């Protein structure tokens, strides 16, 4: 098997599903600890941002040619995700218990996007020979099933965060009555 094919399989069948599963595990941890009673919708807003910081470059990578500009944008998104993750922990830590399991899940959520970026960069190392910075549609489309499955999976992550956010908003309204 060629290295290119192997990296693509690791990314598609390992890294991205693991990141989505880690997101679902984090949501379950938040349900178990009743996040709506502690940091509530404030923390959930950061979760929306964290999700967007990774979902956006994934979606762009499905439709746009991977070039120097997109790789740079992806790297900035991963960096922003790491910073937002620190802010999220800074908000949550004094307000709620973060179990060792949830901490482990967070480790996966933080490192998998970086590993994905490294895989994508290795898959497209040649873009730095003659760097192109402007976006353009892919000349070789990603297989059709990925253009359907990934947006659906990302939408599922958004729905989990929205549910968490709405629980927090409902709890804060109950407290205001």
Does the model's pTM come out above 0.75?
yes
Where in the chain are the domains?
41-165
Selection from 34, 32, 51, 35 nearest residue 43 by Cα: 35
Mean pLDDT of all residues belonging to the chain:
94
- pLDDT at residue 176 greater than cutoff 60: no
Say if CB 110 and CB 82 are below 8 A apart: yes
Render pLDDT for 109-121 as a digit per residue (tens, 0 to 9): 999 999 999 999 9
Stretch 7-15: mean pLDDT: 92
């Amino acid at each position: 098997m060629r290295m290119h094919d192997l990296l693509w399989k690791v990314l598609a069948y390992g890294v991205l599903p693991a990141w989505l599963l880690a997101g679902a595990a984090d949501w379950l941890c938040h349900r178990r600890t009743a996040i709506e009673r502690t940091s509530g919708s404030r923390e959930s807003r950061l979760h929306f941002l964290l999700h967007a910081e990774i979902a956006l470059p994934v979606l762009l990578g499905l439709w746009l040619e991977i070039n120097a500009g997109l790789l740079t944008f992806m790297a900035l998104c991963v960096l922003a995700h790491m910073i937002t993750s620190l802010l999220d922990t800074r908000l949550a830590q004094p307000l709620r218990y973060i179990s060792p399991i949830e901490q482990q899940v967070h480790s996966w959520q933080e490192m998998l996007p970086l590993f994905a970026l490294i895989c994508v960069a290795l898959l497209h190392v040649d873009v730095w020979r003659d760097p192109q910075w402007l976006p353009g549609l892919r000349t070789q489309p990603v297989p059709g099933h990925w253009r359907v499955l990934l947006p659906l999976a990302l939408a599922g992550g958004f729905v989990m965060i929205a549910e968490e956010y709405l629980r927090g908003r409902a709890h804060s309204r109950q407290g205001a009555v």
